[in-house]
Chains A and B, each alone.
Chain A
Amino acid sequence: MTFTHAVGARAYRFADLKTLLAKATPLRSGDCLAGLAAETTEERVAAKMALAAVPLKAFLQEALIPYEVDEVTRLIIDSHDAAAFAPISHLTVGDFRDWLLSDAASTGVLTRIAPGITPEMAAAVSKLMRNQDLILVAAKCRVVTAFRNTLGLPGRLAVRLQPNHPTDDPHGIAAAMLDGLLYGAGDAVIGINPASDSLAAIHDLLVLMDEVRERFAIPTQTCVLTHVTNTTELIRRGAPVDLVFQSIAGTEAANAGFGVSLAVLQEAHEAALSLQRGTVGSNVMYFETGQGSALSAGAHHGVDQQTCEVRAYAVARRFSPLLINTVVGFIGPEYLYDGKQIIRAGLEDHFCGKLLGLPMGCDICYTNHAEADQDDMDNLLTLLAAAGINFIIGVPGADDIMLNYQSTSFHDALYVRQLLGLQRAPEFEAWLEAMRITGLNGRLLEQTAQQPLLAMMPGAA
């Protein structure tokens, strides 16, 4: 189906739905690299105007990537909930934006329609929204998940404690874990990106974290972010696995590049559920995504990178994750060039994920070859916290010495808690108080050498 929009005497024509979506996307380097971006600023706005007139139903009739060749498309179409979609089925994309911003779209209503929204609908409406719209509507969405604590409750923000070390040195990792816990971080998960792919090494890391968690009765979950097939094998061998991690993308071919399929994820999901290690809930999956991953694998099928990203959320939604994290600035400037593009992408990802009913977090981050710095991260952190993000990343001093990029620090989380009055997951907050790490107001208490957690490591104080 062809789409057109006239601006004065000039008629813009868009060959199909995926072209229209790509041309309507706010400028980013990855779409330019793919040759999909609007050629002029005016063409971009004309595309938005044409997109505003497209009925939401059109996305159920015209698949961006053919049903026959892509299992993500099949998942999206086959799992679409027509009853949930019914209340918005008469709207165009432009009407949908107006409706989302209206009082009619309450938290309860948004929760009910989520299964009726496809990734393409969410991506489309986000392209018509300004940053403030992305923030306001996301803040109305609520997605609560649970394993050993409860994440996503209103007025709360969780942190993944990321104690990476370039050689997986157990003392180095334990030192960073201790630092994070004493800064009040770690309620989303304590999660290590391992340097090694060896099953024995990953097993040791799982045991290290599990022993600390058990010894101090920390109400949180742990994870080693290794390939899903490694985790499935480790579950089989009896390792203490709380969460299954995997990077995912929005097309079957891109997922194949990651060495995964829906069937592989299904097997891991069932294996983790069988362990029944959650105490207050059974969300056992942890996914990471990021705009540009499909293009980087040469598997984007001419679909813009933001729409591909939201399609990855359909994959995640299938497995009811505890956490899903868009690693927004990690991929580099050929996909998101500068702070402006990274901030926009972070807000889009969070909004689209929440609209689909996912427990979105964000690794607010950048690399040293991107045109970005800590001020940009401060901006995105503040905006996402205002938008009600479920969790962020905590790295000592924002400097990940294993993955060589900058994320957010434990101090950054304290800043945004103090600014916006955000609390931690309730079970974790209570534990911090009991450990005398925080006071009743959630603020850090001054520590002494008698802090019991310091016994985690000899010679700590």
Chain B
Amino acid sequence: MDEEKPALTPDPWAELSRHTAARIALGRCGGSLPTAETLGFALAHAQARDAVHTPLDVGALSDALEEAGFVALPAHSRAHDRTEYLQRPDFGRRLDPASRNALADLPKMPCDILFTIGDGLSSRAIERNALPLLIELRPYLETSGWRIGPVVVAKQARVALADEVGELFKPTIVVMLIGERPGLSSPDSMGIYITHGPRVGRMDSERNCISNVRPEGLDYPAAARKLAWLLDASRRLGLTGVGLKDESDGSALAAAESRLAIAVE
């Protein structure tokens, strides 16, 4: 027996992998997963776990936003830490009293649109995608004459946190950029939620959602185009939600995309 490797049984249909990202034709040792796939899966899971548990660096993101010409304001939800955030979605939907008071005390300029950036379930999604998306979107907003308010950067945030932020600043529309529940192959996917007339108690059916925003999914130019279309349509109709159908393209993917985001609501 010289340098003999344990026998792996290959699958002669590996060619089919070009049709799907699913983990097919993995081969086997006996009936079990080969070492390489076991470790590859563990790595993907580790990245998804880290995306959930790595704290959002609010300072660095705020600096980058300011450098790009936005006004950044930090905030925190009522969930003290990740453990509480994961078990109490209701806490993630409300500002903690200190944040609420600080935001309430600020002098306010009238604005049409206010952005809130929340870590949600993936800080990686936000650190990678939030600013590039805003920069891609800004020319659309300037062309359409939107008055852009500050950008609130919130930790331990769920989607509805933006409702309370909106109550304080009274924009026509609040847009929440939030980290989506990471998948094994997408640890850094960002969701965008648009709410017309934000106030505490808005239902999910009163929002529009764009999901899977990242270079490997819905890329920035496409996401910005879609968002600009929805914003213009929302301003025209005076609402968001089920009454506003996304017809920015003929894609049938919207339903699939919207499913990916449910866990951050």
Contacts and interface: CB of A to CB of B under 8 A. Distances in A.
Interface of A: 29, 32-33, 163-169, 171-176, 178-179, 182, 195-198, 201, 332-334, 337, 367-369, 373-374, 395-399, 401-406, 409, 411, 414-415, 417-418, 443-444, 446-449, 451, 454, 457, 459-461
A434 B123 CA distance: 51
A332 B187 CA distance: 17
B45 A178 contact: no
A195 B13 contact: no
A369 B181 contact: yes
Contact of B20 (A401, A406, A460): A401
A380 to B, nearest CB: 17
Given A167-B253, A411-B28, A460-B13, A172 B87 contact: no
Most buried by B among A163, A172, A369, A443: A369
B183 A368 contact: yes
Contacts of B33: 397, 409, 411
Given A369-B121, A402-B256, A411-B26, A461 B181 contact: no
Nearest to B44: A399
B256 A195 contact: yes
B121 A418 contact: no
A226 B185 CA distance: 25
A77 B48 CA distance: 46
Nearest to B92: A334
Shortest 10 CB-CB contacts between residues of A and residues of B: A397-B23, A414-B31, A195-B256, A172-B20, A404-B183, A179-B24, A175-B16, A368-B48, A171-B19, A396-B22
Contacts, number: 165
Contacts of A457: 16
A460 B12 CA distance: 8
A178 B186 CA distance: 25
B166 interface: no
Contacts of A196: 252, 255-256
B66 interface: no
B32 A414 contact: yes
A29 B260 CA distance: 23
Q: Which of B19, B21, B30, B255 has the most CB of A within 10 A?
A: B19
Interface of B: 9, 11-13, 15-17, 19-26, 28, 30-33, 37, 41-42, 44-45, 48-49, 51-52, 86-90, 121, 181-187, 252-253, 255-256, 259-260, 263
Contacts of A367: 181, 263
Contacts of A172: 19-20, 22
B31 A461 contact: no
A397 B16 contact: no
Nearest to B53: A369
Nearest to A176: B22
Contacts of A201: 252
A53 B218 CA distance: 59
Nearest to A449: B12
A381 to B, nearest CB: 13
A87 to B, nearest CB: 42
A460 B25 CA distance: 11
Contacts of B260: 404
B28 A396 contact: no
Contacts of B12: 447-449, 451, 454, 461
A412 to B, nearest CB: 9
Contacts of A460: 13, 15-16
